[in-house]
Amino acid sequence: MLTELHISSFKCFEKLNLRLRPLTLLSGINGGGKSSVIQALVLLSQTLAEREWGRTLLLEGPDLALGSAADVLNQRSARRQLALGASTDAEYIVWTFKAEDRRALSLELEGLTVDNQVVELGDTVRWLLPAHHADASSVIKTLRRLSWITAERTGPRELLPLRDAHGHAQVGARGELAAGLLYWRESDDVPAGLCVPDVPPTLFHQVQARMQEFFPGCGLRVSPIEGASAVSLRLRSDARSDFQRPQNVGFGLTQLFPILVAILAAQKGDVVLVENPEVHLHPQAQQNIGSLLARVSASGVQVIVETHSDHVLNGIRLAAKSKIIAADDVAIHFFSPTQADGVFTPKSPKVDADGRLDAWPEGFFDQFDLALSRLI
């Protein structure tokens, strides 16, 4: 599990050390830095996947494309370098990258510290570490098991990609590989603690059962297309109706589907990043997805969720009160600018065993109360 994220001179952050827990919720105003936190993690994970033997931080990758060095370097600091790092209980790594040219689409690896000690990179670098150290690194192992589902998820599609089974290790940043993953791994067992009772414990049946909790009567069918590297996903919103093309059912079904596949297919030790799980869901469903994400975290999968929904937050708080997840296993960070200089810094209210928060910062999911005070 990742326990901390370190950022220096990256986008809106001059410096940030962010505590991470089995379930971490990121909230805040638009443009406050929530997405930058997620992007820092995805940049590292993407680079490890795409540049195993390289010495550069990949800014323009297949899933996350942030542009040039000038787009990611913090403008306040006016530096030509940035630092990204992460820690586990066993290790703390910080990488420093430099930009010789602000137009560059990658940054050169300049320095490395492990457990606050400078480490010489040597001639051979693997996964941004000296090759002899890479295989034993708990930080590298965890970052390589990270998956990301962006808020810009694939909408209803007639056909979805089908790769070989190894190509469906994750659902894809936009959820485009979720149907293919379900096709290949439909018979995989889901951990007992995540299973809907009285339903077979296999991935297909559990995904369908969870979909039915959000959309009663929902059914799924995933079929390969003969002669094409594609599958079709058919859905129905009522057990008495025929399976239909995704375009002809509620938009919320296709937005929730890849999230459910990702979290139920995840293995203990994986890290799942989810942006805006509440998209196209009504309030009760938003609350329920918060509680489900808490349950997934309690099963050993680390979840980092970015949300604008107080219902998702309340679902997590209710999960803590119901002992689905330990309160100490939840971190909540609210990003807003400080009044003094406009720098975005997180405020981190703590949740207790009854689901109560020890602080309620100004602007933190308080718009309903503000509007109500003007109406009465």
pLDDT per residue over 14-58, tens digit each?
899 999 999 999 998 887 889 999 999 999 999 999 999 999 999
Band (pLDDT 50/70/90 cuts) for residue 340 is low
Query: Among 277, 253, 274, which Cα is nearest to 155's?
Result: 253
- Report pTM: 0.94
Q: Which amino acid is at 113?
A: T
Residues 6 or more apart whose CB falls under 8 angstroms from that of 47 comprise 54, 56, 57, 58, 61, 128
Q: Which strand (E) or helix (H) includes residue 35?
A: helix 34-50
- 124, 202, 308 from 26: Cα distances, Å: 37, 31, 9
Say if residue 308 is exposed, middle or buried (CB neighbours under 10 Å; 0-12, 13-18, 19+): middle
* pLDDT digit string, tens, across residues 19-31: 999 999 999 888 7
Q: Structural domain boundaries of the chain?
A: 1-145+267-376, 154-265
Could you tell me what percent of the chain has a pLDDT over 70? 96
Residue 339: pLDDT band with limits 50, 70, 90: low
CATH topology of domain 1-145+267-376: Rossmann fold (3.40.50)
Q: What is the DSSP string of 137-175?
A: -HHHHHHTTEEEE-SS-----S-EE---GGGGSS--TTS
Helix (H, G, I), strand (E, B) or coil at 357: strand
Beta carbons of 94 and 5 less than 8 angstroms apart: no
With a cut of 70, say whether residue 175 has pLDDT above it.
yes
pLDDT band for position 372 (cuts 50, 70, 90): low
Angle between helices 203-214 and 283-298 (to 10 degrees): 150
Q: How far is CA 147 from CA 95, 144, 171, in A?
A: 21, 9, 8
Residue 338: band (very low, low, confident or very high) from pLDDT cuts 50, 70, 90: low
